[in-house]
Amino acid sequence: MKNDVVIVGAGPVGLTLALGLARQGLGVVLFEARSQGVVQDHRTLVLSEGSARFYRDLGVPLPVDRLTPIKHILVTQKGRFGQTHLSAQDGGASALGYVIRYNDLVRHLESHLMGLAVTRYFDARVEQIKVTGNVAAAHWAGGSEEASLVILADGGQALTEAVFGQPFQHAYAQHALVATVASSERHQNWAHERFTEVGPIALLPYEQRNALVWTGTPHETEERLLWDEKHFLREFQSAFGGRMGVFTDLSPRHYYPLTLKIVKRVAIPHVLCVGNAAQTMHPVAGQGLNLGLRDVATVLQQSDGKASSELGTEEWLKRYSKVRCNDRYFGLGMTHALVTGFSHQWPGLAQARGLGLLAMDGLPWVRRWFCHKMMYGLDKGS
């Protein structure tokens, strides 16, 4: 039996897609590589105010008791002058964004799937997508499911490459180490982005603690994983500085490699890729998930009120690609520019960066513009 939409990948982007499409009355099939009830992801996520509003408009408001608002962001560079303070007031909202555990967001979205017309397959890894006429079929070990539109919402590289070809890739030669720490000074809803010679450090308000993302070369990250807690906290304190007082009580540490990946053509007839299937980016500025959710918002806008036969047609996909193009490349380009611009150590560049931070700090209209783009993307109000 042909379905309306098949979604491959049940992370936050795939689950949100399934929710939105099912609420429009479409029949949805959702493939999940993980086992039922098992969510093991140690990351903390940053949701922009724009993403929070999107969930409210979708009828799935985020769980307030699981969110930590970000009301201020301080941007600095280690050992150099210049800083920029961004505030929720600059963005015209009560918060610039929110920190939430990956596990908490997934469970929250899953709870809202109950009772909707979504067929879910667990432990099901889609191995192949075939398009025949006006139908795309997702094949896995247990069989296949057909639909007018198959959407890849998972970062699984092999399947995406098989369908859409080799993406553009840039390896940053960096790993991100993630953990949480306590501090003697309360975070008071401040986030910190600190650029160092070997990569940025992010410190995010997270419940009563702080979530850290410490980037470094693969060798540096391997060493940091082996340090005992006392040694790690001492080195992190030295890299971050004393703004949060003394760091204590380190959680288990995890890491992941950092790569920029861009699928050049995100659609072929009856198949579309969104979120991490379409692009992966450096975590600086916390834009990855928010960019993926704007992909979802565009899909939902274009599917609303459409017959199943209209989904995935060449015209439908061209319209989607046109709508998403500018915002997508702006987000990817801005993030890449931040990473590379603050990592080069050319003579005089550190001073220029410091002057740039000071200038931004002193120009309210620049701060407002930047915050607005980070919160809502390029298209809204552009």
Residue 237's identity, in one-letter code, is Q
DSSP state letters, 22-62: HHTT--EEEE-SSPTT------EEEEEHHHHHHHHHTT---
CA dihedral sign of residues 352, 332, 110, 127: negative
Per-residue confidence in pLDDT tens, the chain, 382 aa: 689 999 999 999 999 999 999 999 999 999 998 777 667 777 899 999 999 999 999 999 999 999 999 999 999 988 777 889 999 999 999 999 999 999 999 999 999 999 898 999 998 999 999 999 999 999 999 899 999 999 999 767 789 999 999 999 988 889 999 999 999 999 999 999 998 877 889 999 999 999 999 999 999 999 999 999 999 999 999 999 999 999 999 999 999 999 999 999 999 999 999 999 999 988 887 889 999 999 999 999 999 999 989 999 999 999 999 999 999 999 898 888 877 766 666 566 677 778 878 888 889 999 999 999 999 998 664 4
Does residue 380 sit in helix, strand or coil? coil
Q: Where are the domains of the chain?
A: 2-169+259-376
Strand bridging mode 143-152 / 271-273 = parallel
Question: What pTM, to 2 d.p., does this model score?
Answer: 0.93
Enter the DSSP assignment of 228. Answer: -
Enter the DSSP assignment of 348. Answer: T
Q: Which helix (H) or strand (E) holds 57?
A: helix 49-57
Does the domain at residues 2-169+259-376 carry the CATH identifier 3.30.9.10?
no
CB contact set of 310 (below 8 Å; sequence gap of 6+): 148, 316
| Rg value, the chain, Cα | 21
